[in-house]
């Protein structure tokens, strides 16, 4: 297999993009990545998207988006695995380049979620849960993650304040990200007094509904050195795993088994251990999710995720800064785009281009993107060259 590098990244402002169609959001972001890469053509394209049919009534994105980008008849494919669609699209693009099937591949993720009512968005997102055994009985994702939070609090002594500190930290990071949907800080008291959604989770524990896209261009590492004027970032590890889609079918609802297994595969491929990761972008769809993910990734011991955020271990300046972009909580969560946006942030950090939120001396970064309540997970490890 060939070594693969990220050579271009693109992302525009995320939020409620009322004046832009899905195709326009995609093309704007894709062109930013192509320009950043300094390439004049694309051999292949992957698009991560969870539910464009339910959000905007549009399927068959591969043909539509290749056409509007002006690259047809280049082969293109849409990739879906709920909120991990972007992460899987990146893995598919990486595999295509690594196997020598294509040299220059565009990987994008996109979702336009605000063109439907709140009930419509809730329904669309709910399709990532078990429809017969969860959705039919009225459970929503805030409810599922609330049960995970309550059990974590019961088993490990995780506190309501520690949950709030995840939101506070990520908004502090996001306040330094001009592309974030909510680039402002919040306080612990604001989180704890915000509207209750599903006890113990309040609205400031939850990621928002978002419109947005992210894109990267990848190619063989040896060719990357002849393209553009920015240092390539090498892809060194990738892992993919699944778990039961229904939360009730797991032996421990606080443990993200798919994340653990995907991370083990990525660490093995990269030849690194958790304590060698300099920063991470993880799937904080709810504050409890980040706590559980940091444990499953091996950054901290089981049950210690709440204490880690409380101590500053996962903040900028800490041992392993987590979600320097602001994460899903502050940056936003257009579900199909999130996994690719994580790669965008890692690439900027490993290039040394992250501005005020730059992690000093960053050499190795990890991205963890998961679908549903952890039923599917992608973990990628990137390294500066």
State if pTM tops 0.85. Answer: yes
CA–CA separation, 315 and 203 (whole Å): 22
Looking at 198, 224, 250, the residue that finishes a domain is 224
Establish if 35 belongs to a structural domain: yes
Give me the catalytic one of 49, 83, 219, 285.
83
- Domain check: are 144 and 103 in the same one? no
For residues 43 and 170, membership in a common domain is answered with: no
Angle between helices 287-296 and 141-156 (to 10 degrees): 60
Domain final residue pick, 171, 196, 224: 224
Answer yes or no: 152 catalytic: no
Same domain assignment for residues 253 and 220:
no
Q: CB–CB of 105/97 below 8 Å? A: yes
Q: Are 332 and 174 in contact (CB under 8 A)?
A: no
The token duo for 274 is: 């958790």
Q: Is residue 199 part of a domain?
A: yes
What pLDDT is attached to residue 174? 98
| Residue 201 belongs to domain spanning | 137-206+235-384
* Cα atoms in the 13 Å half-sphere on the side-chain side of 341: 38
Helix, strand, coil percentages, rounded to 5, for the chain: 40, 20, 40
Question: For the chain, how long is the longest CA-to-CA vector?
Answer: 56
Displacement of CA 28 from its chain's centroid (Å): 20
Same domain membership, residue 91 and residue 189: no
Looking at the DSSP bridge assignments, the partners of residue 369 are 378
Looking up tokens 């992957």 gives 46
Q: Give the distance, in angstroms, between the CA of residue 18 and the centroid of all CA atoms in the same chain.
A: 23
Q: Are residues 95 and 163 in the same domain?
A: no
User: Do residues 19 and 147 both lie within one domain?
Assistant: no
Based on the residue annotation, tell me whether 333 is a catalytic residue of this protein. yes
Q: Are residues 165 and 214 in the same domain?
A: no
**26 and 65 in contact (C-beta within 8 Å)?**
yes
CA pair distance 186, 159, nearest whole angstrom: 18
What is the predicted pLDDT for the residue at 227?
87
CATH of the domain at 108: 3.40.47.10
Count of domains forming the chain: 2
What tokens appear for 305 in the block?
């995720």
Mark the ranges of the chain whose per-residue pLDDT is less than 50: none
For residues 302 and 152, the answer to whether their CB atoms sit within 8 Å is no
Q: Where are the alpha helices (DSSP H) in 38-178?
A: 52-56, 61-69, 85-98, 118-126, 141-156, 160-174
Q: Do 28 and 161 fall into the same domain?
A: no
Residues forming a β-bridge with 141 = none
48 and 152 both lie in a single domain: no
Q: Which helix (H) or strand (E) holds 218?
A: strand 211-220
171 & 309 share domain: yes
In a domain, 127, yes or no: no
Tokens describing residue 327: 């994460």
Q: What is the pLDDT of residue 225?
A: 83
Compute the residue count for the chain: 385
Q: Is residue 272 part of a domain?
A: yes
Residue 41: burial class (beta carbons within 10 Å; 0-12, 13-18, 19+): exposed
- Among 193, 224, 255, where does a domain finish? 224
Q: Indicate if 190 and 214 belong to the same structural domain.
A: no
346 within 8 A of 233, measured Cβ to Cβ: yes
What the block records as the tokens of 335 is 């579900």
Residues 171 and 290 both lie in one domain: yes
Q: Judging by beta carbons within 10 Å of its beta carbon (0-12, 13-18, 19+), is residue 144 exposed, middle or buried?
A: buried
Q: Are 298 and 381 in contact (CB under 8 A)?
A: no
Phi-psi region of 282 (alpha: psi -120 to 50; beta: other; left: phi over 0): beta
Options 171, 173, 240, 333, the catalytic residue: 333
Residues contacting 319, CB < 8 A, separation 6+: 313
Residue 230 covered by a domain: no
Judge whether 124 lies within some domain: no
Instruction: Give the Cα separation of 154 and 74 in Å (integer).
Output: 53
Asked if residue 174 is part of any domain, the answer here is yes
Instruction: List phi, psi (to 5°) of 19.
Output: -90, 10
């Amino acid at each position: 297999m060939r070594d693969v590098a990220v050579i271009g990244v693109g992302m525009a402002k995320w939020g409620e993009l009322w004046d832009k169609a899905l195709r326009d959001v995609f093309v704007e972001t894709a062109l930013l990545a192509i320009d950043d890469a300094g390439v004049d053509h694309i051999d292949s394209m992957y698009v991560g998207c969870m539910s464009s049919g339910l959000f905007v009534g549009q399927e068959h994105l591969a043909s539509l988006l290749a056409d509007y980008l002006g690259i047809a008849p280049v082969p293109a494919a849409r990739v879906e695995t709920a909120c991990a669609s972007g992460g899987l699209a990146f893995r598919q693009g990486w595999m295509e380049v690594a196997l020598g099937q294509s040299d220059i591949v565009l990987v994008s993720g996109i979702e336009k979620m605000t063109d439907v009512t709140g009930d419509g968005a809730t329904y669309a997102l709910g399709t990532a849960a078990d429809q017969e055994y969860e959705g039919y009985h009225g459970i929503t994702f805030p409810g599922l993650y609330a049960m995970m939070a309550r059990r974590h609090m019961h088993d490990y002594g995780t506190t309501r304040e520690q949950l709030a500190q995840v939101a506070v930290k990520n908004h502090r990071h996001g306040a330094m990200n001009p592309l974030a949907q909510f680039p402002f800080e919040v306080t612990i008291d604001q989180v704890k007094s915000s509207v209750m959604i599903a006890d113990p989770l309040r609205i400031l524990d939850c990621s928002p509904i978002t419109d947005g896209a992210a894109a990267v261009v990848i190619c063989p590492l040896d060719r990357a050195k002849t393209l553009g004027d920015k240092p390539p970032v090498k892809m060194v590890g990738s892992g993919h795993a699944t778990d039961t889609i229904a939360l009730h079918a797991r032996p421990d609802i606080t443990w993200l088994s798919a994340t653990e297994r995907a991370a083990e595969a990525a660490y093995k491929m990269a030849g690194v251990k958790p304590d060698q990761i300099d920063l991470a972008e993880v799937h904080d769809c709810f504050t409890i999710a980040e706590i559980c993910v940091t444990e499953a990734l091996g950054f901290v011991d089981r049950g210690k995720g709440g204490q880690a955020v409380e101590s500053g271990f996962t903040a900028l300046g800490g041992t392993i800064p987590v979600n320097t972009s602001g994460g899903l909580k502050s940056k936003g969560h257009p579900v199909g785009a999130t996994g690719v946006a994580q790669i965008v942030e890692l690439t900027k950090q490993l290039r040394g281009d992250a501005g005020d939120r730059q992690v000093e001396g960053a050499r190795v970064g990890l991205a963890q993107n998961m679908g549903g309540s952890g039923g599917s997970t992608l973990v990628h490890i990137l390294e500066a060259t």
